[in-house]
Structure 1
Amino acid sequence: MLRQQDVGHRVVVRRIVGVTGERTLFTDALGELVDLTETDLTLATDKGTVRVPLREVHRAKRVPPARRPRAAAVIALELAADEAWPAPVRSRLGGWILRAADNWTGRANSALAVGDPDRPLDAAIDAVVRWYTDRGQRPLINAPMPLAAPVNAALDERGWTARPLTLVQTAPLAPLLAAPARSDLPLVDLADTPTDAWYAMVAEHKGTLPGTALRILNGVPEKVFAHVRDADGDLIAVARGAVTGPDRWLGLSLLQTAPAARRRGLAQHVMRAVAGWATQRGATHAYLQVEERNTPAVALYGRLGFSTHHTYLTREAPPVT
């Protein structure tokens, strides 16, 4: 049977689906184990999320990953993403990066567990706890999978909980740029700095933006803020792009469309414009981060050519009693 240490790994589950006469009927599901409770397990499969009651599980086991990227590729992409979302307070623990930003976003307020922390794993976790506790914040660790499987196993033993699984998805820029330009949609205005209306639209999704948030959003040398306005001048779509890392990754974030303007192709329209800006700066591929449970967004990005490069779990320390 599967254990908590298998969360984030590829598994196969044989499920009992019925009985015909004296014959038991089975079906198999293959995917990434994203949750395991006392009653159910949840898989992220190519066809979507599947929840299976444990009472229906006949057999389950971990299987080799499907063409997983090399560890070095995961680390390089995670470091590029960290550079694109720069927490103002930072420290190093060997290869790990400790980040704080007044609790605005998990990415900027978690220890990025990539590389060697330069000490035994238990001592590294203790150091993370002290660092965040000294700043009055709940300790968080960002654990890319399956690279950080040992970290996740150690955190399981300590009773750390997990936020929803995040997919780090990538796509080449060429297909985005090859899509025909939409002359029927408003122009995408690409600006070096966001307008007040841009901030307001993002705040509707991310909550009030503290000063720290503005420092993160503007703290990258090569970044762009996309604005799309309707005929009345009202903002109907926004996004942020940043090019970072030696591999010149384009990081796409905060892609939003006003509810009244959805299902018109604005997401692809905005991405195409940002992709054009990024290619002028040497980028050939883009990445974005999306929660696995956000099925509409995952489906949209799939249609635009994005696929999962790797995943990560944001782990939370148990509350101090």
Structure 2
Amino acid sequence: MEFLAGGHAEVRITRADVGKRVSVRRLTGGGAGEPTFTDAVGVLTSWDEGVLSITRRNGECVRIEESSLVAAKVVPARRSAATPHGVAPPSSTEPVRRRGPAATARELQQVAARGWPALETERLGEWTMRASGGFTRRANSVLPLGDPGVPLDTALERIGQWYDERGLPAVIVVATGRADTDEELAAALAERGWADERHTRVRISALAPLADAGADTPPGSAGGAPTRVALSREPDADWLALYNRTGEADRNDEAAQNARKVLTGGPSVWFATVHDPDGGTAAIGRLVVDGRWAGFAAVEVAPAARRQGLATLVMAALAERALTEGASAAYLQVEADNTGALAFYDRLGFTDHHGYHYRRARPGGGRH
């Protein structure tokens, strides 16, 4: 890893580089059996009170004391700069741009869980019980990745008790559709009376073509290029109002607070907003970057602003942001009966990877 400039190591990053992919070298002591320096590469996700947080490609978060930095720099984006029309010229990176992502269902489940983190978790063997005050099924369900460490009926009893204590229904998310998913668990839960609901498709795509998608939007219909999309680290009240799943917009409301915490959680999160000519919120979206993966969610367009290409512009702007942070693959989750959204993401090049659904215990029983 080379940091030298004019023969001297330099720290060439600042707090303004939060959200960028960086390479850092820090002093680690150099005691017996220890290296003098340690290197880390990843997204600089925060820099607060003298501590940097860097998220690596595998989702691991490394905390580094500012005082230990020896050298640091921003890692240039892999993708060449776009032309004014949003289309990158041919370059040596083009084969990477064409190559689609490959992943196991387990990898995507882990990435998606980090990108939509629950406020409270507890392990049960290799399963994770998650709760977030009821805000979304994803953040209030059990993620079963492997063996619960106890017989299934015992696990279900413990799960039921855990969710009862929090005033929430006992729900387990079950992945299906691939050799490495949970068809056996789905069948076992069905036998025990756990009802299925909310069938969803996990879809993936190469990331770079999404960043170019906005170039195909007619300038007259949506007002121009993706520069109309504003990106921020926090959702404002108008963003939350259009998303319409966060309860009351009052920051002091517990439900709204829970929603904000989930929405802003994750390795590197961005919120996109498109304003209409009157200053209203016309379209929104959410992005979380986690290593090579860019997760898209909450893409919504106000009824009066539909059929203008705004959802495409939002996706393109968020994809461009993810590319600058070193991501190369995209994923999202769409309910299986949302035909409009499925058709939209088809046009953007997304394909199905696997599916999942939720299994809920019957009221008053059915846990074992």
Whether contact under 8 Å (1:165, 1:312) holds in the other structure is yes
1:201 to partner: Cα distance: 1.1
Aligned partner of 1:149 among 178, 183, 188? 183
The answer for the alignment partner of 1:261 in structure 2 is: 305
* Alignment of 1:120 onto 2:120: no
**Which structure has the greater CA radius of gyration?**
2
Match of residue 304, structure 1, among 348, 358, 368: 348
Does 2:164 match 1:130?
no
Q: Against the structure 1 CA distance between its residues 300 and 206, is the aligned structure 2 distance closer, same or farther, given a 3 Å change threshold?
A: farther
What's the CA shift for 1:123?
2.4
Once the two structures are superposed, residues 96-138 of structure 1 have per-residue CA deviations (whole angstroms, 9 ceiling, x without a partner) of: 1110011110000000112222223332222222211222211
In structure 2, the residue matched to 1:316 is 360
Number of aligned positions between the proteins: 249
The residue that corresponds to 1:278 in the other structure is: 322
Q: For the residues of structure 1 that align with 2:206 and 2:193, how far apart are their CA atoms?
A: 39
**Partner amino acid for 2:281?**
L
| Other-structure match for 1:33 | none
Q: How does 1:62-211 map to 2 (within 5 A)?
A: 73-146=104-177, 147-179=181-213, 181=215, 182=217, 183-184=219-220, 185-186=222-223, 187-203=228-244, 205=245, 207-208=247-248, 210-211=256-257
Are the aligned partners of 1:224 and 1:240 in contact in 2 as well (CA < 8 Å)?
A: yes
- Inter-partner Cα distance in structure 2 for 1:151 and 1:74: 15
State the secondary structure of the residue aligned to 1:102.
Answer: coil
Per-residue Cα deviation, 1:233-265 (whole angstroms, up to 9, x for no partner): 111000010012xx4311111100001111111
> Which letter maps to 2:236?
T
Q: Which amino acid aligns with 1:163?
A: E
TM-score (structure 1 length as normaliser): 0.73
Whether the 8 Å CA contact 1:74–1:310 is kept in 2: the answer is yes
Unpaired segments ≥5 residues, structure 2? 1-100, 249-254
Percent of residue pairs bearing the same amino acid type: 42
1:206: how far off? 5.5
C-alpha distance in 2 between matches for 1:306 and 1:135? 37
Query: What amino acid sits opposite 2:264 in the alignment?
Result: N
Conserved? CA contact 2:293–2:328, under 8 Å = yes
Q: Is the 8 A contact 1:75 1:115 kept in 2?
A: no
Q: How far is the alpha carbon of 1:180 from its aligned partner?
A: 5.1
Secondary structure, aligned partner of 1:151: helix
Instruction: State the secondary structure of the residue aligned to 1:275.
Output: helix
Does the CA contact (< 8 Å) of 1:114 and 1:144 recur in 2? no
TM-score by length of 2: 0.64
Give SS of 2:198's match: coil
Distance in 2, matches of 1:250 and 1:94, equals 28
Post-superposition offset of 1:302: 0.7
Q: Does the alignment pair 1:214 with 2:260?
A: yes
Distance 1:257 1:117, change over 3 A: same
CA displacement at 1:215 relative to structure 2 = 0.6
Alignment check: 8 A CA contact 2:204 2:353 kept: yes
State the 1:220 CA deviation.
2.3
Deviations 1:167-186 (CA, angstroms, capped at 9, x unpaired): 01111112212335344435
2:200 touches 2:357 (CA, 8 Å); kept in 1?
A: yes
CA distance in 2, matches of 1:130, 1:149: 25
Distance 1:240 1:304 in 2: 17
Unaligned runs of 5+ in 1: 1-68
- Does the 8 Å CA contact 2:115/2:267 hold for their aligned counterparts? no
In the TM superposition, residue 286 of structure 1 has moved relative to its aligned partner by 1.0
- Contact 2:270–2:288 under 8 Å retained in 1: yes
Q: CA deviation at 1:141?
A: 0.1
Aligned 8 A contact 2:229 2:317 in 1: yes
Instruction: Name the CA distance, whole Å, in 2 between partners of 1:79 and 1:87.
Output: 13
Counterpart AA for 2:283: A
Determine if the alignment matches structure 1 residue 236 to structure 2 residue 279: no
Q: State the partner residue of 2:81.
A: none
CA distance in 1, matches of 2:278, 2:168: 43
CA displacement at 1:313 relative to structure 2 = 1.0
Amino acid across the alignment from 2:294: L
> For residues 214 and 110 of structure 2, what CA distance do their matches in structure 1 show?
33
